[in-house]
A and B are shown apart, each in its own frame.
Chain A
Amino acid sequence: MKITVCIGSSCHLKGSKQIVEQLRHFIEENGLNNMVELGATFCMGRCQKGVSVSIGEKFYSLTPENVNEFFNKHVLGEI
């Protein structure tokens, strides 16, 4: 599974760095390093809905508050 976090200017200002760190932490904590790849891209063209994160074709709007929920549902739940 590949999770891509938008690190374009708009999402960066909304905290994509923190989201990346939280996701890194969750992946590590759950021992998913070999199963989940965390990537970055500059701008997904969804600046209004940042921080934008995608898994495959699906997009999610994350905040530091809902990362946990996202991870449980869409990462742990799908793996």
Chain B
Amino acid sequence: MARTYDLNDDSVVVIIGSGAGGGTLGHELSEKGIDVVCLEAGPRLDLGDIVNDWGTMGARLSWNDKRIGTGVLNPGYPLWVCKTVGGTTVHWAGASLRFQEHEWKVRTVYGDVPGATLLDWPIDAAEMDPYYSRAEDKLGTTGTHGIPRLPGNNNYKVMEYGAKKLGYQTVHTGNMSINPEPRDGRPGCVQLGFCMAGCAIGAKWSVLYSEVPKAEATGHFELRPESMVVRVLHDDSGKATGVEYLDADGNLQMQKARVVAVAGNSVETPRLLLNSASGMFPDGLANSSGQVGRNYMRHLTATVYAVMPGAVHFDRGTQMAGIVMDEVRNDTSRGFAGGYLMETLPGFGVAAIAGNVGGMAVDTPGTWGRDYTREVIENYRNMAGMWLVGEDMPQADNRVTLHDTEKDQYGLPIPVVHFDEHPNDLAMRNHAYRMGSAVYEAAGASKTYELPPFPGTHNLGTCRMSANAADGVCGPTGATHDIPNLFISDGSQFTTGAAENPTLTIVALAIRQAELMAEAMRTNSI
């Protein structure tokens, strides 16, 4: 049974955010008998709330509170993430890839890349291997633990054909946390095609229906949805003591805590630390390094759509239906450090294609008019599409800050997210565009369109993990360097981003963090 905790119960671990990091951490701790209060800003939906409609689900799931983007970011909508129980695991595509071994140590492997703030992670592939294995088992990742891969849809078959014709070797339907057959209480995938609107049948792993009910069943977990944390509190000794939050009715509450773990995604996590500034910590909590909010990464990302000689119906079936992995290696002969992946991606419906191809690609007959509708929109059924995702370079000035004057509906300064690209990012994207287009041309495309990044869904690195306290915000356990009972538990802790979709790594880190936190609590070191 889900239980409830008193606001003055100072024995609980308070987790802020219920996504891949916070939700997993909460479930793992609760299984160990540790009492958890999980505060989530968004509402709790159930499968009945998930429908196959992009517009409805965009409005229902997304984090739409005001944010400002500067640099190359969309000024009014810099990120596309979720405000709902389960966080971005409700809208993720399900791609579950491990970092490559070298991606834990890129400062050593890539060397000094001018302008980049590269750093080696203070943990490595060998350390993470067992946690990755447990994460893959938890998520039911295809291609691991004897779970077969999903069948490939039309969009995959086009990419596979072109890729193999080009000579690519590692081409398959991916490591996906989508059940090919029933497992762990979740049904098998029936190829609905709206993965990123939320899986309406729950075949895709999500904290919403996979972790939260199990956590509640332990009797050690309380979820409080529609609870926006406004401040982390501390005592005179500099230890975290609890949080203040606005409940569903807008009333300010204070929950005491033994440990506080922040997992609000890479904008809200540093924003909360900055908003928690106090007399003792005037620059924000855990910010003696000045690194809170810095080194924001969002992966390379780009999209190629192609007009093929026959019908593809790329909306049919899983959205990330397959992957080409040959370019993910680090091979500086290509003119850049790091690597990237090709993953199928359709277009989120006709309205989105009609707006995005003309609005974002250059090689179209404008954005409207007869030539545009004939060349682009009336070819919708023949379109294939892929997303290109790779490692981007951390930079100190790509960062989350607080707006000087403007406040949101909670009365908190709105976040300003700045991102400019590094020359390595541009060189990699150039290569990715060329090779992605070549894949489709090898399969007979009459036209390809190159689209720059959509608002970021992989947002990383704003409270990064570092061996030395001067270089980052948290140490190898995720505990902040400055405040030992304050943890970073989401993608914000990424030291560098690697090329792979981040969720599996966030989950693996959360499983590991739960073990380390429980041990520290058992030995009373926190």
Do A and B originate from a single complex? no
